[in-house]
């Protein structure tokens, strides 16, 4: 194993530099220098513009213009804005602000604008969907797309170039992908942060619901997945929902207003679960608050993905029934 540049160049600025470098290679004048890299760079531009048949004659790259991560003009026809993220998320309506700035500049006003959210770390599908919906709702006439690590790898891995920088980047992204997919082959006790992210992403697809992210707390925080919100029949001020705190599955309550009394449902919930042969127990401590843990189930180290999905669906169905009696 040789040292990988991107083990050390981990910032988004480093990824900005790589994207700009690869876009520059799409220019026809570099074809003779490294034909394979040039052709891959052209395919990369086509991916970004969602145009498989585009003939690329020129790419003009502009670094950090108006604080835009990556800005490029393709064929003097397309303006390409890329908001580049590794392990952070979009914030402050960055793409909207950049789009408004580009449209307001006379030299770019006649170009077709493409806004790209380029994400090589892991992010929930729910957050990505909200980002896309928010942008396209406000700018329905514009071209907006989300480019994920899988999208990038699907193009870059086809290349036969031996360029060291390029190969290091592909190897770096593939390592993230392998760690993300490792939940499929490793026992739960060995899951890394990326494996839990991969598991949660797979759960989103399997359950067709839910969201996940980092939850901070005094103990150091955890990666959580939450879904299945329902109001209690006898008290619509209290919602019951499910939350995975990595290995710990929690039945939670959320008090919308008034007196905090979600805790009164803990015993009832556990008793109902026992009647249905559902393995839920009271938490070690009932901490009163707006959000509370009412019951828990610890996932066994031997559980695989299908086992966990089956368990979660059983508890989903149990809760649908239980809230009618609470």
Q: How far is it, in rounded angstroms, from Cα 116 to Cα 48?
A: 7
**What pLDDT does 260 receive?**
63
Helix (H) or strand (E) holding 81: strand 78-85
Find the mean pLDDT for residues 3-27: 95
**What pLDDT does 77 receive?**
97
Model confidence band, residue 46 (pLDDT cutoffs 50, 70, 90): very high
Highest mean pLDDT, choosing among 13-27, 206-220, 283-297? 13-27
Q: How far is it, in rounded angstroms, from Cα 232 to Cα 324?
A: 7
In this model, does residue 287 exceed pLDDT 90? no
Residues linked to residue 85 through DSSP beta bridges, in sequence order: 119
- On whether the CB atoms of residues 83 and 94 are closer than 8 A, the answer is yes
- φ, ψ of residue 139 to 5 degrees: the values are -130, 70
Give Cβ neighbours of residue 145 (< 8 Å, ≥ 6 apart): 48, 50, 114, 115, 116, 117
Domain boundaries along the sequence of the chain: 5-179, 188-322
Q: How far is it, in rounded angstroms, from Cα 271 to Cα 282?
A: 10
**What pLDDT does 217 receive?**
87
**What pLDDT does 218 receive?**
84
**What pLDDT does 233 receive?**
80
In this model, does residue 259 exceed pLDDT 60? no
More confident residue, 40 or 304: 40
Find the mean pLDDT for residues 87-100: 85
In this model, does residue 189 exceed pLDDT 80? yes
**What pLDDT does 285 receive?**
86
What's the whole-number average pLDDT of the chain? 93
Model confidence band, residue 261 (pLDDT cutoffs 50, 70, 90): low
Q: What is the pLDDT of residues 71-82, one digit of tens each?
A: 999 999 999 999
Radius of gyration of the chain (CA): 24
Helix (H) or strand (E) holding 104: helix 94-104
């Amino acid at each position: 194993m040789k040292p990988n540049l991107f083990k050390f160049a981990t910032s988004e600025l480093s990824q900005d530099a790589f994207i700009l470098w690869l876009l520059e290679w799409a220019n026809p004048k570099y074809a003779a220098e490294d034909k394979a890299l040039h052709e891959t760079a052209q395919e990369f531009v086509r991916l970004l513009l969602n145009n498989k048949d585009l003939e690329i004659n020129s790419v003009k790259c502009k670094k950090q213009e108006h604080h835009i991560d990556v800005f490029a003009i393709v064929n003097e026809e397309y303006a390409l804005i890329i908001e580049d993220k590794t392990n952070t998320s979009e914030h402050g309506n960055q793409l909207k602000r950049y789009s408004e700035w580009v449209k307001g500049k006379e030299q770019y006003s006649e170009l077709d604008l493409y806004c790209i959210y380029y994400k090589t770390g892991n992010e929930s599908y729910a957050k990505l969907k909200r980002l896309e919906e928010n942008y396209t709702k406000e700018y329905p006439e514009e071209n907006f797309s989300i480019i994920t690590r899988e999208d990038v790898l699907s193009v870059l891995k086809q290349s036969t170039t031996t360029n060291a920088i390029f190969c290091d980047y592909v190897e770096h992204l593939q390592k993230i992908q392998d760690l993300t997919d490792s939940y499929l082959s490793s026992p739960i006790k060995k899951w890394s942060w990326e494996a839990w992210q991969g598991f949660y992403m797979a759960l989103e697809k399997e359950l067709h619901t839910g969201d996940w992210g980092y939850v901070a707390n005094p103990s150091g925080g955890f990666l959580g997945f939450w879904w299945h919100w329902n109001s209690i029949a006898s008290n619509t001020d209290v919602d019951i929902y499910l939350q995975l705190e990595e290995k710990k599955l929690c039945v939670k309550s959320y008090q919308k207003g008034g007196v905090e009394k979600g805790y009164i449902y803990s015993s009832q919930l556990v008793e109902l679960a026992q009647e249905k042969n559902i393995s839920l127990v009271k938490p070690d401590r009932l901490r009163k608050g707006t959000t509370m843990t009412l019951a828990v189930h610890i996932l066994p180290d031997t559980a695989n993905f299908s086992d966990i999905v089956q368990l979660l669906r059983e508890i989903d169905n149990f809760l649908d029934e239980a809230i009618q009696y609470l």
